[in-house]
Amino acid sequence: MTTPRDQRRVFGEVADAYDDVRPGYPAEVLDRIVAYAGGVPTSVAESGAGTGKGTALLRTLDTPLICVEPDPAMAGVLARRFAGDDLVSVVVSRFEDWTPPPGGVELLASAQAWHWVDRTVRTRLAAAALAPGGVFAAFGHDFGFADDELKTAMDAVYQRLAPEIADKPGLPANAQHPDSFHLSELHVSPLFTDVEQQLVVSVVPYETARYLTLLTTFSGHRMLPEQRRHRLHQALAELVDERGGVVEQKLTTALCLARRTGSDRA
Ligand SMILES: C[S@@+](CC[C@H](N)C(=O)[O-])C[C@H]1O[C@@H](n2cnc3c(N)ncnc32)[C@H](O)[C@@H]1O
């Protein structure tokens, strides 16, 4: 009997490509976290660190940073990237199975990865990982398009060839739209206060070949049967080439912030 492929584990199949083409995060995201925290945190943990795209931003804090990442291939790229860096440690584990340091950390961050943590326990586990008053910061890109006409044409290709991901062309299946950080979980929890969301917009150009590689790193695309993924990517490549050979990816980076209260009631 074959086991169903786990969508949250498909990133490791393309770890190097992921590291090559996925966009990093604007410095402004970190500036906003530090402003919200009221200073530079002295201890940081990151859930779902992947190959280190968010880690690179967090590392600029010059603070000890524990990266929790369950996929061995992703963690391998991450560990190589920060080899010899005394401030960065890598733990190969799901966030759900990780034991936070006693007393908790001052900042728990997660880049494009919080939606993969079991939603029935993640708010409680985030609180358990934080010192009282500590800051939770989840952020992630919504991969939009600067050119509306290109987006409309791409929508039609998705409708024809991959309707199951047609509502989010170019997006991972569980992409975090600016309003879908499950802020309500934090709003209703007595473990968190001062819940807010901020948006940072940037535009990143991708030439056709690189854009196709980007698509292969999205879990929704990876889960498509190979032949259909191939047909979809071919059709999208033709479309992009007809329109100048560049996709301007409009990234709306949503940043969800919350502060750990002193309360231990879940
Ligand atoms: C879209 S990638 C984001 C990686 C990186 N943070 C970035 O911004 O590029 C999502 C990551 O979440 C990891 N992940 C999946 N399930 C997880 C879990 N239960 N706990 C922690 N990380 C998880 C995946 O292995 C993957 O590396």
Alpha carbons 172 and 215: distance in angstroms, whole number = 8
> Which atom in ligand 1 lies closest to the alpha carbon of residue 110?
6
Q: At what angle do helices 226-242 and 208-216 cross, to 10 degrees?
A: 150
Residues having CB within 6 Å of any atom of ligand 1: 8, 11, 22, 47-50, 53-54, 68-71, 74, 94-96, 111-113, 116-117
Tokens 């939009």 sit on residue? 144
Which pLDDT score is estimated for 172? Answer: 42
* 208: Cβ contacts below 8 Å, ≥ 6 apart: 237, 240, 241, 245, 246, 247
Q: Give the tens place of pLDDT for each residue, 167-215.
A: 664 454 334 444 455 678 898 999 999 999 999 999 999 999 999 999 9
Report the alpha-carbon distance of residue 160 to residue 157 in Å, rounded: 5
Q: How confident is the model at residue 1 (pLDDT cuts 50, 70, 90)?
A: very low
Compute the mean pLDDT over every residue in the chain, rounded to the nearest whole number: 90
Set out the domains of the chain in order of their start, with CATH numbers. Answer: 7-260 (3.40.50.150)
pLDDT, tens digit, for every residue of 166-177? 866 445 433 444
Q: How many whole angstroms separate alpha carbon 88 and alpha carbon 216?
A: 28
pLDDT exceeds 70 at position 265: no
Q: What is the model's pLDDT at position 263?
A: 57
Residue 86 above 50 pLDDT? yes
